[in-house]
Structure 1
Amino acid sequence: MTITHEDELEGLREIGRIVADTLHTMGRALEPGMTTAELDAIGAEILEREGAVSAPQRTYGFPGATCISMGEVIAHGIPGAQVIRAGTLVNIDVSASRNGFFADTGASFRVGAVPASLNRLCTDGRKACQIGVAQVRAGRPLGAIGSAIGRFASKRGYTLIRNLASHGTGRALHEYPEEIPTWPTRDRRAITDGLVLTVEPFLSRGGLWAEDGGDGWSLLATPRAPCVQYEHTVVATRGKPVVVTLAG
């Protein structure tokens, strides 16, 4: 989607706030002993109350309102009977639509105390997303996003999952410019004024690729390694990018 009118930006901001509030409420509710289905129910209730519709559920028939990934699962985890345990990381990905506008956000959360290496991975994962967002400006190549994230990851000793990309969004969950690499490439496609896209690097301590987890949805890192994801929906301008997925 390309924003051309102020009312479009307002519609996008509104659904962006909804998914951000949903994500942060779910993150605050996280506690050892609850199941991922119970956590998903919290998100589903907020979306329904706000008049929003789960995008993966509506678009792809995903068996949950949100994607909740933990353990070896790095993305698209199905909410269910899995019990959340202390000392682990849980990734929550929330995308939804309202009044024809879509927004997508996500974050990895610590459950209780985690090892120092995972603390550092979370801190740096959030930073990697911020670095990518800072590259979103009209006139720059899309490849600038992955190049900046790649430099940061390499300097800090991390790898990036290279087949889970950012994407265009706004009027659909996934739309032009389709896959946007968050790792170094020679992608010279231009970022245009008003373009709506996500920035969502998957930062890992050794993982390079995402592979099918065997249930048709869940994805695992190959080689197996801890991985975090932080995601925002962003509108490109000729100046500072507009991040619409900020909690109200």
Structure 2
Amino acid sequence: MVLKQREQIATMRAAGKIVADTLALVAEAVRPGVTTAELDEIAERYIRNAGATPAYKGYRGFPATICASVNEEVVHGIPGPRRLQEGDIISIDVGARYRGYYGDATITVPVGQIDPEAQRLLDVCRESLEIGIAQARAGQRLTDISAAIQRHVESNGFSVIRDLYGHGIGRKLHEDPLLPHYGRPGQGPVLRPGLVLTIEPMIAAGAPEWRTLDDQWTVVTLDGSLAAQFEHTVAITDNGPEILTLP
């Protein structure tokens, strides 16, 4: 695990603000009839104008600035000509590199009016992220975060997607350790001040199994049920968790 100094975390906070502001701008543009490619253009323009570079574009061959995952798409959806429809939900995942450091965050938003159960899925996912962040304290074990998320999600009748992880982040987009969003508490490394993690629960209305589409990127629920994701970049500090991806 790479522990960050105060100055490095300050730079990551600046990167995180660019990510958060990008997400807010893209979320404002979400409406029936807009294409996911149009949302991607908004994000890339803002990130570059802020003096940062899109973290995902070109990363391992990914072709776009945002991941735009609609309905049963869990993560890594590729923006394109698809037009959003009333009642859809869309997860928007944004990463930015600023002065050598990364920020990374995700929100899931409704497209117009959505079904009450779809809204409950979004609410529970957001709550699970908040509950997980509350466990991200020095002296805790890594899977204390995991277990708290799983407990909240499953107690509300939803499932945690398996084998897709949060992770350390800093000069690299993906660093150790990997963070599952399910599991027994009290396992994994002890959390130490200076560790920065992405906490990013992905949950489904149905079963937790998934598959990857032929584009080799888009992950969808195996049973076609709706999926949601919320994510923040979080620093472990002596004074508790600090969310670095706030607007």
Whether TM-score is above 0.5 comes out as: yes
**C-alpha root-mean-square deviation of aligned residues, in Å?**
1.2
The aligned amino acid for 1:88 is D
**Secondary structure, aligned partner of 1:236:** strand
The aligned amino acid for 2:4 is I
- Give yes or no for contact 1:73–1:213 (8 Å, CA) kept in 2: no
The C-alpha deviation readout for 1:68-120, integer Å capped at 9, x for no partner, is: 01032111000101011111101100011011110100010001100100111
Which aligned pairs between 1:17-96 and structure 2 lie closer than 5 A? 17-96=17-96
Q: How many residues align?
A: 245
**Secondary structure, aligned partner of 2:57:** helix
- Give yes or no for contact 1:15–1:97 (8 Å, CA) kept in 2: yes
Question: Structure 1, unaligned stretches of length 5 or more?
Answer: none
Report the equivalent of 1:156.
156
- Give yes or no for contact 1:203–1:229 (8 Å, CA) kept in 2: yes
Shift of 1:188: 2.5
- Give yes or no for contact 1:106–1:230 (8 Å, CA) kept in 2: yes
Given the superposition, is the C-alpha separation of residues 151 and 71 from structure 1 closer, same or farther in structure 2, using an over 3 Å criterion? closer
**Secondary structure, aligned partner of 2:240:** coil
The aligned amino acid for 1:159 is S
Report the equivalent of 1:169.
169
Report the equivalent of 2:3.
2
The aligned amino acid for 1:3 is K
Whole-Å separation in 1 of the counterparts to 2:41 and 2:113: 25
* Structure 1 residue 228 corresponds to structure 2 residue 232: no
The aligned amino acid for 1:22 is T
Report the equivalent of 1:181.
180
The C-alpha deviation readout for 1:110-132, integer Å capped at 9, x for no partner, is: 01100100111111111010001
- Give yes or no for contact 1:160–1:201 (8 Å, CA) kept in 2: yes
Shift of 1:200: 0.5
The aligned amino acid for 1:87 is G
**Secondary structure, aligned partner of 1:56:** coil
Shift of 1:157: 1.0
Whole-Å separation in 2 of the counterparts to 1:148 and 1:160: 12
- Give yes or no for contact 1:207–1:226 (8 Å, CA) kept in 2: no
**Secondary structure, aligned partner of 2:95:** strand
Question: Structure 2, unaligned stretches of length 5 or more?
Answer: none
**Secondary structure, aligned partner of 2:23:** helix
The aligned amino acid for 2:243 is V
The C-alpha deviation readout for 1:183-206, integer Å capped at 9, x for no partner, is: 124632211111000110112111
Whole-Å separation in 1 of the counterparts to 2:11 and 2:188: 30
- Give yes or no for contact 2:16–2:245 (8 Å, CA) kept in 1: yes
The C-alpha deviation readout for 1:7-60, integer Å capped at 9, x for no partner, is: 212101100000000011100111111111011000000011011111111432
Q: Please, what TM-score do these two structures have when normalized by structure 2?
A: 0.96
- Give yes or no for contact 2:73–2:226 (8 Å, CA) kept in 1: no
Whole-Å separation in 1 of the counterparts to 2:20 and 2:149: 23
Report the equivalent of 1:242.
242
Whole-Å separation in 1 of the counterparts to 2:118 and 2:38: 25
Which aligned pairs between 1:87-106 and structure 2 lie closer than 5 A? 87-106=87-106
Which stretch has the larger CA shift, 14-23 or 60-69?
Answer: 60-69
The aligned amino acid for 2:181 is T
Shift of 1:238: 2.9
The aligned amino acid for 2:133 is V
Whole-Å separation in 2 of the counterparts to 1:218 and 1:53: 22
* Structure 1 residue 213 corresponds to structure 2 residue 213: yes
Percent pairwise identity: 36
Find runs of 4+ consecutive structure 1 residues off by over 4 angstroms: none
Shift of 1:224: 2.4
**Secondary structure, aligned partner of 2:56:** helix
Shift of 1:140: 0.8
**Secondary structure, aligned partner of 2:164:** coil
